[in-house]
Structure 1
Amino acid sequence: MATARVIFFLGFALLSCSLIGASRGLENRRSLFLPILNNDTKVFDVTKFGAVADGETDNVDAFRAAWGAACKNSTSRAKVLIPEGTYRTAQTMFAGPCSSPKPITVEITGTVKANTDPSEYVSPEWFTFQDIDGLVLTGRGVFDGEGPAMWPFNDCRQTKSDCAPLPSSLKFYKVNNSVVTGITSLNSMQFHFHVHGCSNVSLSKLNITAPGNSPNTDGIHISSSDMIKVFSSVIGTGDDCISIGHSTTNLTVYNITCGPGHGISIGSLGKRPEERSVNGVTVTNCTFVNTTNGARIKTWIGTVAAEVKNVTYEDIIMKDVQNPVVIDQNYGSRLSREPSTSVWKLSDIHFRKIKGTTVSNIGVSLQCSTRNPCEGVEVADIDLGYAGRLNTTFISSCSNAKPIFGGMLNPPPC
């Protein structure tokens, strides 16, 4: 019996590892839970807990009841099902830790619509997943943030820091060893997806959409997280398609179509003293279409020293992008031409094999700090056409880089 048990657990471990590996190196590989649904899976249909698919009834209590039963009271693997139909809900939290066997699945086949009464939100999140190890969020369903009804309440540009941010559609906080796949996010009030304090999470096959002029609707914002993978998704929104915040490590992004939007950006960083370094970001095989930026790193001048290092943007296609490659260490300053004195350090940064077209004559702009000059910035094989001809300008505040005009761009490293 003991031998059979050892063989069972060894087989399960090998199967898990073969399904999904982590993004960085053999030494850091960890398996991700996948929806292995069979006859032993117990389904907790929200309609059995009182949810009404009329597009008007607030279903928050029914959703919470279904989640509570699945998370705490199941002796077999559990799945919360939001079936076809339109379900409205106010601020909702699916919180762990769960005592049911891992993974716990939430499957969306219907449409979930946000309540548009601002007084219903006591914090800037609409739908939160928190303190869960082994979550699978999946399905062909839609989270509709009802942004057009809420965007007029966004006053942060006018009031600066004295404002209440609108809720993000989907917040993941302390969610580990998990998979998010197949979900559509429509017209978020603020961020579509917000990943914070998470580890070993895969996000794929997402469809994220909002108008290009919608305020602060970042597609996916990632901060204080490790070993996150984002891939095979289409993101078109009013801010960064993917924004990478402070304290992020070992992030892999690939096969993303971005546009409209502000590109895939690291930062902004350094605005708040509690922010810490970013280390290990790889963005490959992505396409940017009619975006204001492409591959971008941006830092405020800042007050606490930190760094961005080990970053690669490679095999990127730009289609009519305004600012294809950008380092801006003077972000947020009113004196945009003043040499930056940012206390953030940038090193081991690589922009490689970036091709396509730009709607400006500046293909690469590296504006580095004079206090902490960029180190180890590689710009190689840049081929960007402007106004029907190859005419890409390279500008840099690095002391050993000179302006280069023309097609293939291989300046000396900073």
Structure 2
Amino acid sequence: MTKSNITLPLFFTLLFALLTFIDVSTGAANVFNVVSFGAKPDGVTDSTGAFLKAWQAACGSVAAATVMVPIGTFMVKGITFGGPCKSRLKFQLAGTVVAPPDYRAFGNSGYWILFNKVSKISLIGGTFDARANGFWACRKSGQSCPPGVRSITFNSGKDVIISGVKSMNSQVTHMTLNGCTNVAVRNVKLVAPGNSPNTDGFHVQFSTGVTFTGSTVQTGDDCVAIGAGTRNFLISKLACGPGHGVSIGSLAKELNEDGVENVTLSSSVFTGTQNGVRIKSWARPSNGFVKNVFFQNLIMKNVQNPIIIDQNYCPSHKGCPTEVYIHTRGWPALRAVTYKNIQGTSATQQAMKLVCSQSNPCTGITLQDIKLTYKKGTPATSYCFNALGTSLGVIQPTSCLNR
């Protein structure tokens, strides 16, 4: 028998090299670069079709696949990345995606980048610039304008990761989750000028199991807007400002409306915002509700309304209802809301305002270790209307809760 010249260490070295080659080859086969499908990184050529072809190839792959957007600037019109797909997907961006220069190119679609019914997907890195200056100018001029498009939207998604994404200059909302389950949003940056109209940062509704962590939001409207049907939502390490703060609502838009429950906001900083933490509802009949909300370990820096509940919400101040009648399956409209360890400065003397329904008061409100100051020599004040609860620790301004 002829003796083999391959030693055992050499055999394992060759085996490892072969396995590595197989792994790299397989991975390369499942990376779909949009440039290979005709996308041009010049910021001018319409690359919508190329993006869609790359998506369709990745979505149809039986093995995990990646859509790759390399360094460069790619112009993309309104596009829908539809599912369900056959395997786990990654949408990896090193470059920048820009919207068409003419805001009217979107028509009345409501979406720019839409992921529809896609599960097990990661959206990683890159910049999305909606270039909305022309749209904002139209809105401010009072002309007849399109409704505007959300920059990035996930509809009916499950097991979604969004990480390291930057969204700039959205026409309206930067990033929206609608009807989604189990979503992790990490280290995103959502940026628009403070005077840009209705440019919400992150909007979530009818969704369960969402975390939003380590992100910066600078907008002309809510940094985070929490709509009806939101459950088990965790926000932490948020840097908010400019903008309108974090808002639950507005609720009571309709009679039959889902509620909001189990929301926690912690370890976050608000700088120069219109509001800090806000809960708002229209004064209309509705079976919507808010319960089990925790606002804790927050810093306010020159915030106009650091703590506010407004159940007479009516931003136009025209034809406003005069009383809140929200009937909620036997529960008050708002219950079990905790404000704990909230400190900083208020830009207005009234640092805390809790206005609830006369027919259906807020109950179970807890204030604990609050220290909000106004101008030196002028203490901050609080105002409550039909707000029931308890106060613990040092409360500044003085608690106005009824027991």
Q: Tell me if TM exceeds 0.5.
A: yes
For 1:214 and 1:329, locate their aligned partners in 2 and report how far apart those are by CA, in whole Å. 26
For 1:138 and 1:71, locate their aligned partners in 2 and report how far apart those are by CA, in whole Å. 16
For 1:172 and 1:399, locate their aligned partners in 2 and report how far apart those are by CA, in whole Å. 36
Determine which of 333, 345, 349 is the counterpart of 1:357: 345
Residue number in structure 2 paired with 1:107: 92
1:77 aligns with 2:43: no
For 2:36 and 2:388, locate their aligned partners in 1 and report how far apart those are by CA, in whole Å. 68
Alignment coverage as a number of residue pairs: 370
For 1:324 and 1:280, locate their aligned partners in 2 and report how far apart those are by CA, in whole Å. 21
1:232 aligns with 2:214: yes
Residue number in structure 1 paired with 2:200: 218
Give 1:254-403 correspondences, 5 Å limit: 254-332=236-314, 334=317, 340-343=323-326, 345-389=333-377, 391-398=379-386
1:398 Cα deviation from its structure 2 partner: 2.3
Cα gap change, 1:342 to 1:92, in 2 (>3 Å): same
For 1:135 and 1:193, locate their aligned partners in 2 and report how far apart those are by CA, in whole Å. 16
If you compute each CA radius of gyration, which structure gives the higher value, 1 or 2?
2
For 2:365 and 2:298, locate their aligned partners in 1 and report how far apart those are by CA, in whole Å. 17
1:165 Cα deviation from its structure 2 partner: 2.0
Conservation of the 8 A alpha-carbon contact between 1:40 and 1:76: no
Larger CA deviation: 239-248 vs 265-274: 265-274
1:195 Cα deviation from its structure 2 partner: 0.6
1:174 aligns with 2:156: yes
For 1:338 and 1:97, locate their aligned partners in 2 and report how far apart those are by CA, in whole Å. 44
Whichever residue aligns with residue 393 of structure 1, its letter is T
1:147 aligns with 2:132: yes
Cα gap change, 1:83 to 1:413, in 2 (>3 Å): farther
Q: RMSD across aligned C-alpha pairs, in angstroms?
A: 2.6
Whichever residue aligns with residue 153 of structure 1, its letter is C
- Structure 1, unpaired ranges of 5+: 1-36
1:79 Cα deviation from its structure 2 partner: 0.3
Residue number in structure 2 paired with 1:11: none
For 1:77 and 1:407, locate their aligned partners in 2 and report how far apart those are by CA, in whole Å. 54
Cα gap change, 1:400 to 1:107, in 2 (>3 Å): closer
1:271 Cα deviation from its structure 2 partner: 1.7
Conservation of the 8 A alpha-carbon contact between 2:381 and 2:397: no
3-state secondary structure, aligned to 1:79? strand
Q: TM-score under structure 2 normalisation? A: 0.86
1:338 Cα deviation from its structure 2 partner: 8.3
For 1:152 and 1:181, locate their aligned partners in 2 and report how far apart those are by CA, in whole Å. 31
For 1:397 and 1:373, locate their aligned partners in 2 and report how far apart those are by CA, in whole Å. 8
1:340 Cα deviation from its structure 2 partner: 3.2
For 2:175 and 2:306, locate their aligned partners in 1 and report how far apart those are by CA, in whole Å. 24
Give 1:17-166 correspondences, 5 Å limit: 40-41=26-27, 42-72=30-60, 74-99=61-86, 101-102=87-88, 104-115=89-100, 116-139=102-125, 141-154=126-139, 164-166=146-148
Conservation of the 8 A alpha-carbon contact between 1:380 and 1:410: no
Cα gap change, 1:153 to 1:39, in 2 (>3 Å): farther
For 1:274 and 1:218, locate their aligned partners in 2 and report how far apart those are by CA, in whole Å. 25
- Which string of whole-angstrom CA distances, capped at 9 and with x for unpartnered residues, describes residues 353-404 of structure 1? 11000111111100001121101111221101211357121100026689xx
Q: TM-score under structure 1 normalisation? A: 0.84
Larger CA deviation: 141-150 vs 258-267: 141-150
1:213 Cα deviation from its structure 2 partner: 0.4
Whichever residue aligns with residue 133 of structure 2, its letter is P
3-state secondary structure, aligned to 1:134? strand
1:280 Cα deviation from its structure 2 partner: 1.1
For 1:168 and 1:358, locate their aligned partners in 2 and report how far apart those are by CA, in whole Å. 32
> Identity over the aligned pairs, expressed in percent?
36
- Which string of whole-angstrom CA distances, capped at 9 and with x for unpartnered residues, describes residues 295-318 of structure 1? 000000123222111111111000
For 2:34 and 2:76, locate their aligned partners in 1 and report how far apart those are by CA, in whole Å. 12
